[in-house]
Amino acid sequence: MSLAFPVPVKPVIQPPPMVEEVLTDDERTALKARIKALMKQQDAVLVAHYYTSADLQDLAEETGGCVSDSLEMARFGHAHPARTLIVAGVKFMGETAKILNPEKRVIMPDLNADCSLDLACPADEFTAFCDAHPDRVSVVYANTSAAVKARADWVVTSGIAAKIVKYLHQQGHKLLWAPDRHLGDYVQRVTGADMLLWQGSCVVHEAFKAEALKKMRAEHPNAAVLVHPESPESVIALADVVGSTTQLIEAVRTLPHPEFIVATDNGIFHKMHAAAPGKLLLEAPTAGEGATCLSCAHCPWMAMNGLRNLAAVLESGGNEIHIEESIRARARLSIQKMLDFAAAEKAGQIQLGD
């Protein structure tokens, strides 16, 4: 379906330089021991995204926390009794934890860990966009600020976006979607919903290249191609599986293929290797004709999380997330709708049909 509506065209967001933490074995051991003691003292649990470092993912699991996609991060942090939630990921993930758990202290290793989608969707512009289309239900991706969530009717993550949009479409709603144009376009294609799309994109997934991927696939005829739906349509068209980070890890575990070409942040390989130790995992190409490679398959904002700054934050008591209460309360409603939908769908209470 072509869109006959004017939508804001967003400039390309320039990511910060990639700075990854490098530690010796002794430093790693000492930092982990210090962090574990501080977490115990402060009744803290660590919730980490699959794109963070192997050290943080291991620490989360060693301390009873979780490593997951953004939907499960929200669910887990909400259900866990700890009084402090440490969110290793990007800012919108910390904000979501705070929105759902106002009584808890929510901290992050680095509050500058942003996201190009969030940055491409300022709340005032999004509000103007909604105001211009009052006949449409607004659905925003979780990769947005608390203020944008507060203005939206629904929040979705990549793991549940298509199901919620399909449900709203079946209820007869026309939709307004922000901020990821590729995910929005993909969801529109699979659901047939009438969607007006904001024009943001992810600097990591936008860099995957279809022509180079075709070549790679020809060189690896036994490989399945796994693609996160923040990737361009031409890359999604080559996928055997399109899904959220959790769904892609599940594909590596369950599909019979001995090799996988993976179009998402390479931080995910840590979990994929653990899920299927004997299988060959290859990074989908970000080079090739027209390559800009601003990120080279790794998110520079996710890389801002490390053991050093986590230890420092626990010691200093800084980097707490605060959200103005009226915004938090409104954002809570649109996130809660997603969590309730997910629970109802899991319990078989929502039938979406074909």
Residue ranges in contact with ligand 13P by CB under 6 A: 69-71, 143, 157-159, 202, 230, 244-245
The CB-of-70 to ligand 13P minimum distance in angstroms stands at: 4
Please list every residue from 217 through 236 that binds ligand SF4, using CB under 6 A. 230
Q: Which residues of 51-65 are buried (b: 16+ CB within 10 A; e: fewer)?
A: bbbebbbbbbeebeb
Q: Which does 139 bind (CB under 5 to 8 A by kind): ligand 13P, ligand SF4, none?
A: none
Residue found under tokens 């211009």: 132
Which of ligand 13P, ligand SF4, none does residue 206 bind to, with CB < 5 to 8 Å depending on kind?
Answer: none
Q: Smaller CB distance to ligand 13P: residue 300 or 314? A: 300
Residue 62, classed as helix, strand or coil, is helix
Q: Is 156 helix (H, G, I), strand (E, B) or coil?
A: strand
Q: Which of residues 145-174 bind ligand SF4 (CB under 6 A)?
A: none
Q: Cβ 104 to ligand SF4, closest distance in Å?
A: 22
> What phi, psi does 196 have (nearest 5°)?
-100, 125
Tell me if 143 contacts ligand SF4 by CB under 6 A: yes
With CB under 6 A as the contact rule, the residue among 97, 160, 302, 331 that binds ligand SF4 is 302
Contacts to ligand SF4 from residues 174-203, by CB under 6 A: 202-203
As beta bridge partners, residue 349 has none
User: Binding ligand SF4 by CB under 6 A: which of 265, 272, 313, 332?
Assistant: 265
Q: How far is CA 60 from CA 28, 63, 68, in A?
A: 14, 5, 10
Smallest CA-to-CA distance from 334 within 182, 201, 85, 145 is with: 145
69, interface contact from ligand SF4, ligand 13P, none, CB < 5-8 Å by kind: ligand 13P
3-state secondary structure (DSSP) of residue 262: strand
Pick one of ligand 13P, ligand SF4, none as the site partner of residue 55 (Cβ within 5 to 8 A by kind): none
Q: How far apart are CA 322 and CA 223, in angstroms?
A: 45
Which of the listed partners (ligand 13P, ligand SF4, none) does 301 bind, with a CB threshold of 5 to 8 Å by partner kind? Answer: ligand SF4
- Shortest reach from residue 301's CB to ligand SF4, in Å: 5
Confirm or reject binding of residue 120 to ligand SF4 (CB under 6 A). Answer: no
Both tokens assigned to 194 = 């009438």
DSSP codes joined into one string, 282-294: EEPP--STT---S
| Residue the block writes with tokens 């002794």 | 26
Rounded to the nearest whole angstrom, what is the least distance from the CB of residue 123 to ligand SF4 in the complex?
Answer: 17
Q: How far is the CB of 268 from ligand 13P (least distance, A)?
A: 9
Residue with tokens 């993976």: 262
